[in-house]
Chain A
Amino acid sequence: MRLTEQVTRSAQAAPLLEASGLTVRFGKVTALDGLNMTAPPGEVLAILGPNGAGKTTFVRTVATLLRPTSGTLRVRGRDVAADPVAVRRDIGLAGQFAAVEPTMTGRENLEMTAQLFGHDGRAARRAASIVIEQLSLEDVAGRRSGTYSGGQRRRLDLGASLVGAPRLLLLDEPTTGLDPAGRREVWDAVRALVAGGTDVVLTTHYLDEANELADHVIVIDRGRVIASGPLDDLKASVGHDVIEVAVPDASLLDAAGLILQRVTSSPPRIDRGSRRASARSAGGASELRAAIGLLEGAAIPIDEIGLRRPTLDEAFLALTADQGQDRSPQ
């Protein structure tokens, strides 16, 4: 008995996820290439990366759908290869494919999954009712899920992963293919779960999604972690602040960009839609002052100018670009 308690306590203290040299190969393709990472419990972790980086492979390995070719992966202290059943009891998986049965109603889908988590009939009905309320599916729970909107179906899929009261919710690109309203729906649902104490790991290639939901980010590229840390640290680590200027007329953007480049010695980014030019700045305030002076000298009117932290978008581009340069000699 005391031993059981100890085991439980050590599982609680263990990292949410801990990968060491994790490698997954499909034939000649190496999807995960000696990946190392640790995620603390109690935080929302976002796994970012371009398409084909290995995000989905990583989630499928956490979910015990794939076995590591080599290396180890522990979920709350349990090895996915040695103890897959324990891992499955701890996780709920919701995927980029909404894996619900379209010919069954929302409630039927939830009750089925609850039973497959191990609930008896009564507990399954209760779990389904709680999840329906939690995800605001009351109005559609009696309809076949084949008739749902994209956002509703995704929320039902999310709900199906929750009826077993998982300790870790795995969301593989939870909003891919949804319209903005559907994304909002799913984000609100995930936030509510996080507030209720569920640990969440999500993959996304939408930076704003990570920004909205995550505390902690790891960036994967070509099967390896290229950056990891709290979201704010990650933004800070790509360095330098950014000078950004907005001008009233898009035809002035190139001239403004050239001035930014002269001041900061880094290539400007031009966004014509929002009529903004920006560039990374090592010199901070003094460079900002110089830029303002030069813009006024060139008679370029300024709507808005300022020094700001880099966005996750910029951080991500900088990281994956660096990685590409490292490898180009190969």
Chain B
Amino acid sequence: MTMTQTIAPNAPITRPSAPPGGARAALEVARRALRKYFRTPGLSVMGVVQSALFLFSFRYVFGGAIQAGPSGYVNYLVPGYVATIVLFTGGGVAVAVAEDRAQGFTARLLSLPVPRYAIVAGRALADSATNAWSILVTVGFGFLFGFRLGGTVPDGLAALGLCLVYAVVFTVVFIVIGLFAPSVQAAQGLSLIAFVFAFISSTYVPAASMPGWLQPFSRYQPITPMVNAVRALILGSGSDVALALAWSALLLVVCTPVAVLRYRSA
């Protein structure tokens, strides 16, 4: 065996004195996810374009045929659409999580002395940020397509704040989907489940307009109260807000530990 004696590095790396703290590790994990998002046009640009096109279609293509709300369909549609936009963009989160597992990036992270919860926290932080970004862009398009606040500006901001809470909640849900999907394609497929919840709810049409057998699902699944709460806040009412927050808390409380435990064995 020939052993080429290459010069040993004359400036050795000192060993870190301690593993990174959870917050620093989470920020580093988040920074990488954000860089990937903003440096991949397919993710950052197409996500926005897609959400604008969808809103455009509902507003101008289907909207004329839908009777909803006393102040016109656009004022009914936009709050629901903004509240649930993450159900559409969140598929990207599940795919990104599944990709990291398939390509060995998760293994690299798990081999580092990083607290497991920091990996989930970093991922959730970054994806909540990009999802919040989608929400803000979509609100912009909403106003462009004719949406007007029915109440005061603070009421509108409260509604927006609630939508941002949902962004965090759905992000964690999609992280769990990405962690359980056996492949990247499966992550994409599984994410379509979210469409069922988005469409069979009060997001696009009032639940009362659906056939009787469909109404119980529409009424009691979490998306309907979540959307209704956003509409109520815009008009200065607090109805359904407590129920929406309870659903949000429940989803977070269930999904977060599942995500942390699942990352541990990814």
Q: Which residues of A contact B (CB under 8 A)?
A: 60, 63-65, 67, 85, 88-89, 91-93, 95-99, 101, 103-104, 108, 112-113, 115-119, 123, 126-127, 130-131, 133-134, 144, 160, 162-165, 188, 191-192, 194-197, 211-212, 215, 231
Neighbouring A residues of B17 by C-beta, 8 Å: 118
**How far apart sit A165 and B104, CA to CA, in the bound complex (Å)?**
21
Contact of B9 among A103, A134, A231 (CB under 8 A): A134
B108 engages A93 (CB within 8 Å): yes
Nearest-Cβ distance from residue B80 to partner chain A, whole angstroms: 34
Whether, in the assembled complex, B31 has its beta carbon less than 8 Å from a beta carbon of chain A, the answer is yes
A188 pairs with B6, CB closer than 8 A: yes
Q: Number of B residues whose C-beta is below 8 Å from A? A: 41
Interchain pairs with CB closer than 8 A, number: 131
Chain B neighbourhood of A112, CB < 8 A: 28, 31-32
A116 to B118, CA, bound (A): 10
Which of A96, A99, A101 meets B36, CB within 8 Å? Answer: A101
Stretch among B19-27, B69-77, B192-200, B216-224 lining the A interface: B19-27
Bound form: Cα–Cα A108–B16 in Å:
18
Point out the residues of chain B lying under 8 angstroms from A160, CB to CB: 108
Q: Are A104 and B1 in contact (CB under 8 A)?
A: no
The B108-125 residues at the A interface (CB cut-off 8 A) are: 108-114
- B4 touching A191, Cβ below 8 Å: yes
Question: Are A195 and B5 touching (Cβ within 8 A)?
Answer: yes
| Residue on A nearest B21 in the bound complex, by CB | A118
Q: Judging by beta carbons under 8 Å apart, are B112 and A163 in contact?
A: no
Main secondary structure of the interface of B (DSSP, over half): loop
Known: A118-B18, A195-B5, A196-B8. A163 touches B104 (CB 8 A): no
Which residue of the partner chain, among A104, A165, A195, contacts B12 with CB atoms under 8 Å? Answer: A165
Q: Encode B100-141 as 1/0 by CB contact (under 8 A) with A.
A: 000111011111111000000000000000000000000000
Q: Given A63-B111, A103-B35, check contact A115 B9 (CB 8 Å).
A: no
In Å, the complex CA distance between A85 and B18 comes to 11
User: 16 A–B contact pairs at CB < 8 A?
Assistant: A89-B15, A89-B16, A96-B104, A97-B103, A99-B107, A115-B25, A116-B112, A123-B14, A130-B13, A188-B4, A191-B6, A192-B6, A192-B7, A195-B6, A196-B12, A211-B1
* A149–B109 alpha-carbon span in the complex (Å): 23
For B3, give its contact among A116, A127, A191 (CB under 8 Å): A191
Bound form: Cα–Cα A91–B111 in Å: 8
C-beta contact mask, B38-67 vs A, less than 8 Å → 1, else 0? 011000000000000000000000000000
| Bound CA span A163–B36, Å | 22
Interchain CB contact under 8 A, B103 and A99: yes
- B11 at the binding interface (Cβ < 8 Å): yes
Chain B residues with Cβ below 8 Å from A95 are 104, 107-108
Decide: B112 and A231 in contact? CB cutoff 8 A.
no
Find chain A residues with CB under 8 A from B104 CB: 95-99
Give A63 to B5 CA distance when docked, in angstroms.
Answer: 28
Q: Are B113 and A127 in contact (CB under 8 A)?
A: no
Q: B265 contacts which chain A residues (CB < 8 A)?
A: 67
B29 surroundings in chain A (CB, below 8 A): 116
**CA of A131 to CA of B114 in the docked complex: distance in angstroms?**
21
Which residues of chain B are near A99, meaning CB under 8 Å?
Answer: 103-105, 107-108
Name the contact of B25 in the complex, choosing from A89, A116, A123 (C-beta under 8 A). Answer: A116
Pairwise interchain contact B111-A93, C-beta atoms closer than 8 A:
yes
Q: Is the CB of A101 within 8 A of B6?
A: no
Most buried by A among B1, B14, B31, B36: B1
- With A89-B15, A123-B14, A188-B6 already in contact, 5 other A-B pairs whose C-beta atoms are closer than 8 Å: A64-B111, A85-B19, A93-B108, A103-B40, A134-B9
Report chain B residues within 8 Å CB of A92: 111
With A89-B113, A231-B1 in contact, do A164 and B8 touch (Cβ < 8 Å)? no
Q: Cβ of B4 and Cβ of A104 under 8 Å apart? A: no
Tell me whether A119 and B105 are in contact (CB under 8 A): no
Tell me which of B7, B35, B108, B112 contacts A104 (CB under 8 A): B35
Q: Which of B6, B8, B107, B109 contacts A116 (CB 8 A)?
A: B109
Most buried by A among B5, B9, B14: B9
Are B111 and A88 touching (Cβ within 8 A)?
Answer: yes
CA distance in complex: A194, B2 (Å): 13
